[in-house]
Amino acid sequence: MLIGLLGFQGAIEEHELILSSLGADSIRVKKASELIALDGLIFPGGESTTMLKMLEFSNLLNPLQSVLSQGLPVMATCAGLILLAKKTTSPVQKSLGQLDITVKRNGYGPQYFSFCEEVSIESFEKTFRAVFIRAPIILSTGPSVHVMARDHHGHPVFVRSGRQFGMTFHPELTQDDRIHRLFLNQIKKNSRRELCQDIQNGIT
């Protein structure tokens, strides 16, 4: 299994270490040709504005939209979720528009208000210690989006829509690999090797 990580900026190495411990290979994606052989993709946390600028500079925006719309599984965390969202606020920012949610950037406030919280995630027997760093808040979800977990305010913090997983927190900053395992298991159940030719046609 080969998982791509958007490789310009953010918490990349932490995801790589977890994927490696679970037996998955990974590659840092910086150009369109690297999307073709992927079984899944991770948008890491970091700085969404910087990531967006690098995507535009590298001509990756349209290829990403193409492979995601064709069903490439994706897991987006914190800033990565902002990139994946259909709509962003505070301020409005361009995005890939793939996940039907509205996200408020820095929703909990600046760095000083970063925090950890035990959250209950659907299908998990034990709570997950979620790390929120300048985290966005999901203001609304579309009908295709299922809420997997909420914070103590009732805000969705983990959502899923088909093969798209989105979190406002950083699962890679803990020793708990359950979310990554959930993502990889979903890919195994819905292998998309048969879609590789379609994806190649979409980005070339």
Which domain range does residue 121 map to?
2-203
Amino acid at 130: A
CATH code at position 12:
3.40.50.880
Alpha helices by DSSP H, listed for 22-87, are: 48-57, 61-69, 79-84
Say whether 116 is catalytic.
Answer: no
Say whether 170 is catalytic.
Answer: yes
- Find the helix packing angle between 196-203 and 61-69, rounded to 10°: 150
For the whole model, what pTM was predicted? 0.90
The percentage of the chain sitting over the pLDDT mark of 90, rounded to a whole number, equals: 84
Banded model confidence at residue 195, pLDDT cuts 50, 70, 90: very low
Residue 49 is classified by DSSP as H
Query: How many domains are there within the chain?
Result: 1
Question: What are 106's two structure tokens?
Answer: 């820095």
Tens of pLDDT, residue by residue over 36-92, are 999 999 999 999 999 999 999 999 999 999 999 999 999 999 999 999 999 999 889
Q: Where are the beta strands (DSSP E) in the chain?
A: 2-6, 25-29, 40-43, 74-77, 85-89, 99-104, 115-119, 128-132, 137-141, 146-150, 156-161, 164-167
Active-site residue, selected from the candidate residues 15, 16, 155, 172: 172
For 198, residues 6+ apart whose C-beta sits below 8 A from its C-beta are: 70
Active-site residue, selected from the candidate residues 16, 78, 155, 180: 78
For 177, residues 6+ apart whose C-beta sits below 8 A from its C-beta are: 18, 21, 22
Active-site residue, selected from the candidate residues 15, 16, 155, 170: 170
